[in-house]
Amino acid sequence: MNTHKKHGFWHRFFFSLDHKDIGFQYMLTIFLMVSIGGFFAYVFRMHLAYPDMKVPLFGLVTNKDYNMLITNHGLIMMMWLALGMLLAVVGNFLIPIMIGTDDMAFPKLNKISYWFFLISVILMIASFFMPKGGLGGGWTLYPPLSVGDFGYNTPYQGFASRFFTANTFVLLAIVFEFTSLLMGGINFFVTTLNKRAKGMSLLKMPIVVWMINIASVLFMFSVGPLVAGTFMLLLDINVGTGFYDAYRGGDPLLWEHLFWFFGHPEVYVILLPPLGILAEIISTNSRKPLFGYRFIINMTLLAGVLSMMVWAHHQFVAGINPKAATVFSILTIIISLPFAGIILAYIATLWYGKIRFTLPMKWALGAVALFTLLGGFTGLHLGASVFDIYAHDTSFVVAHFHYTLFPTVIFGTYAAMYFWFNKFTGRHLNKTLGNIHFWLTFIFFNGFAFPLFLLGLAGQHRRIADYRQFEFLMQDPLPLYRQIATISAVILILTQFIFIFNFFWSLKKGKKVESNNPWEANTLEWQTSSPPPHGNFAVYPVVYHGPYEYNMPERDKDFTPQNEA
């Protein structure tokens, strides 16, 4: 029931408590962040392929610039894009409406979460303008490098000289962002448990709601030690404690453990929501129930638990006890098994279905293929500790994580966009532009990432601003691989402008939807108007069965909305 008077865009932007508006705010803010992160990638890749060139829109890239670009590219993409888009945006848009309720359990807390997120973005961007420049040293922030040149013997020049540094601002930005996500996680969890529509038991929820919640809980448990560790790093920088300083009784390896204890579960936090999105899209576009709903949930829970036991596979050569490394290697290889189960379940959903090769389906299948074949499988290479001795900190790792992250985070986000855009805006995204966008992205993503495997196997180490002084890395065809990767990356980045244009143009001028449910899907959001009203439903639905009843024998329609008896 909509009793609000029409507010201006900015008033709504800053003060609306509606979860859909808040989701949209997060999305716009993240679009800004990803533009910066993508721009940085463009600059440093141009520098890698053409080292002496003045990169258009940036200029000459020095070693310091290069370190700053790669560090902040990683930070922005992992922390703000991935976590923000897949938890905050997807969770905010989908959870209340898919469980058939009006809004989150705590709308004001939701609003505050966004404010904290915005503050984190401002702090992060401010870090680029600090007196000593933006942060370098890798997104993993390993001390002592991340503590800055404030070594044992550097005279202390006052608190301001330590506080107004990119090191401090980036860490504060991360603290604010984590707080925002923790608050959001509490909101999602309580909303999911408490505000489901009548008749919607937990096992009748769409699986994406399960995935977002498991991801939020996994986030919460894994981030705790890192929050403590971040405070400790801030103290090291600003006060001169020595938590990570070997000369002061501390240990740099401590940070590595704290960071990766979070960092590994984090990639599963990022992975789970897209897996959920893919499940919804694959099921709807195969006109078949999702195969193995409970099986998938069990496998996800197993993977979540295992994910907290594998973190030191990032530290095989870091100086940890080799016997411990063997344990982590075994667990890492084992974690491939639940994910294999999930992917096989998705494939089983496809078989004997009546597949509709729509745009969201293209993204979904592309994601499954690339993630499994080139991302997941190369995880086996890296999980084998002995091969990791060679591959660690080479471009092989960069290729591996781009093949796991990009298909899930980016393809998954696009799949969600092309699927749900018409629901939340009442207009369709342009299909032709969408197809061009998909094929170009698919081709040029592979053009960028695959050569990186070959470069890594040839021994190319990471985070190097200029490969020219290493003759073994200048032998053909390695420079050619770097150029192919760069040119593909640049075209890949340019291709995304097609989407940006499509998105904003279709918001105002896209073809209006003729039906509330163009995909003929079962879940509750499709049973209300496009866009949904404030409060989501004119009459709140009662749920009679699960979300995957497609092509049920006793029905004549090939789909059965959840609120249809």
Partner 1 sequence: MRIFPENASSYGAEIDFIFWLITTVVAVGSVIVIFLILYPLFTRNKQRSPEQRYLKGQGFKQMKLIYLGIVILAIADFSFLLKEGPTWTKIEETLPKDDLHIAVIGRQWLWEFVYPGPDGKLYTADDVKKINQLYIPVNAVVHMDIQSYDVIHSVFIPNARFKQDALPGRSIKRWVKMTKTGTYPLTCAEICGIGHANMKANITVQSQEDFQKTLAKLYKK
Partner 2 sequence: MNTTISKKLTWRDIPQARLAVWALIAGEFAIFGGLIVMYILNRMKYETWGEMAQHTNVIAGTINTFVLLTSSYFVVKAHEAAVHRNKEKIKMWIWLTILCALIFLGIKTYEYSHEIMHGFTLPGKHLLAEGKNVETMYWSFYYTMTGLHGLHVIGGALALFFVMRGVTKTGENYHRVEAAGLYWHMVDIIWIFLFPLIYLIH
- Asked if 229 is part of the footprint of partner 2 (rule: CB under 8 A), the reply reads yes
Structure tokens at 356: 């509709």
239 binds, among partner 2, partner 1, none (CB under 5 to 8 A by kind): partner 2
> Cβ of 474: how many Cβ atoms within 10 Å?
12
Q: Pick the piece of the chain touching partner 1 (CB under 8 A) from 85-93, 157-165, 191-199, 292-300.
A: 292-300
Q: Closest distance between partner 2 and the C-beta of residue 481, in Å?
A: 41
Binding flags for partner 1, 26-65, as an x/- string (CB under 8 A): ------------------------------------xxx-
223 binds, among partner 2, partner 1, none (CB under 5 to 8 A by kind): partner 2
Spatial contact of 308 and 265, defined as CB atoms under 8 Å apart: yes
- Asked if 564 is part of the footprint of partner 1 (rule: CB under 8 A), the reply reads no
CA–CA dist 139, 148 (Å, integer): 14
Which residues does 449 contact at the CB level (< 8 Å), separation at least 6? 374, 399, 402, 403, 406, 485
CA–CA dist 37, 31 (Å, integer): 10
CA–CA dist 57, 60 (Å, integer): 10
Q: Which of 232, 361, 368, 449 binds partner 2 (CB under 8 A)?
A: 232
- Asked if 472 is part of the footprint of partner 1 (rule: CB under 8 A), the reply reads yes
Q: Which of 37, 38, 107, 137 binds partner 1 (CB under 8 A)?
A: 137
Q: Closest distance between partner 2 and the C-beta of residue 151, in Å?
A: 13
CA–CA dist 71, 138 (Å, integer): 4
> Cβ of 242: how many Cβ atoms within 10 Å?
18
130 binds, among partner 2, partner 1, none (CB under 5 to 8 A by kind): none
**Side-chain half-sphere of 371: how many Cα atoms within 13 Å?**
28
Spatial contact of 371 and 267, defined as CB atoms under 8 Å apart: no
Q: Which of 240, 292, 426, 447 binds partner 1 (CB under 8 A)?
A: 292
137 binds, among partner 1, partner 2, none (CB under 5 to 8 A by kind): partner 1
Binding flags for partner 1, 301-340, as an x/- string (CB under 8 A): ----------------xxx--xx-xx--xx--xx-xx--x
CA–CA dist 78, 71 (Å, integer): 11
222 binds, among partner 1, partner 2, none (CB under 5 to 8 A by kind): partner 2
CA–CA dist 466, 10 (Å, integer): 45
Can you list the positions of beta strands (E) in 373-417? none
CA–CA dist 417, 411 (Å, integer): 10
- Asked if 520 is part of the footprint of partner 1 (rule: CB under 8 A), the reply reads no
CA distances from 439 to 169, 209, 212, 380 (A): 39, 29, 28, 28
- Asked if 260 is part of the footprint of partner 2 (rule: CB under 8 A), the reply reads no
- Asked if 159 is part of the footprint of partner 2 (rule: CB under 8 A), the reply reads no
Nearer to partner 1, 59 or 319 (CB): 319
Q: Closest distance between partner 2 and the C-beta of residue 123, in Å?
A: 20
Nearer to partner 1, 54 or 354 (CB): 354
Buried b (16+ CB within 10 A) or exposed e, 28-64: ebbeebbebbbbbbbbbbbbbbeeeeebeebeebeee
Q: Pick the piece of the chain touching partner 2 (CB under 8 A) from 13-21, 102-110, 439-447, 500-508.
A: 102-110
Nearer to partner 2, 190 or 552 (CB): 190
- Asked if 478 is part of the footprint of partner 1 (rule: CB under 8 A), the reply reads no
485 binds, among partner 2, partner 1, none (CB under 5 to 8 A by kind): none
Binding flags for partner 2, 184-223, as an x/- string (CB under 8 A): -xxx-xx--xxx-xx---------------------xxxx
Which residues does 118 contact at the CB level (< 8 Å), separation at least 6? 29
Q: Which of 228, 380, 386, 500 binds partner 2 (CB under 8 A)?
A: 228
- Asked if 160 is part of the footprint of partner 2 (rule: CB under 8 A), the reply reads no
Look at residues 346, 343, 452, 465 and name the one whose alpha carbon lies nearest to residue 402. 452
Q: Closest distance between partner 1 and the C-beta of residue 171, in Å?
A: 17
- Asked if 298 is part of the footprint of partner 1 (rule: CB under 8 A), the reply reads no
Q: Which of 17, 175, 217, 384 binds partner 1 (CB under 8 A)?
A: 384
CA–CA dist 85, 30 (Å, integer): 7
CA–CA dist 88, 283 (Å, integer): 24
Q: Which of 22, 223, 237, 345 binds partner 1 (CB under 8 A)?
A: 345
Nearer to partner 2, 43 or 218 (CB): 218
Q: Closest distance between partner 1 and the C-beta of residue 423, in Å?
A: 24
CA–CA dist 26, 89 (Å, integer): 6
518 in helix, strand or coil? Answer: coil
Nearer to partner 1, 509 or 558 (CB): 558
Structure tokens at 483: 């150029």
Peptide bond connecting 477 to the previous residue in cis, omega within 30 degrees of 0: yes
- Asked if 155 is part of the footprint of partner 2 (rule: CB under 8 A), the reply reads no
41 binds, among partner 1, partner 2, none (CB under 5 to 8 A by kind): none
The type of residue at 484 is: I
Nearer to partner 1, 75 or 343 (CB): 343
Q: Closest distance between partner 2 and the C-beta of residue 16, in Å?
A: 19
CA–CA dist 25, 30 (Å, integer): 8
Spatial contact of 304 and 220, defined as CB atoms under 8 Å apart: no
- Asked if 542 is part of the footprint of partner 2 (rule: CB under 8 A), the reply reads yes
Query: Could you list the residues that contact partner 2 (CB under 8 A)?
Result: 1, 101-102, 105-106, 182, 185-187, 189-190, 193-195, 197-198, 220-229, 231-232, 235, 239-243, 247-250, 254, 258, 261, 535, 539-540, 542
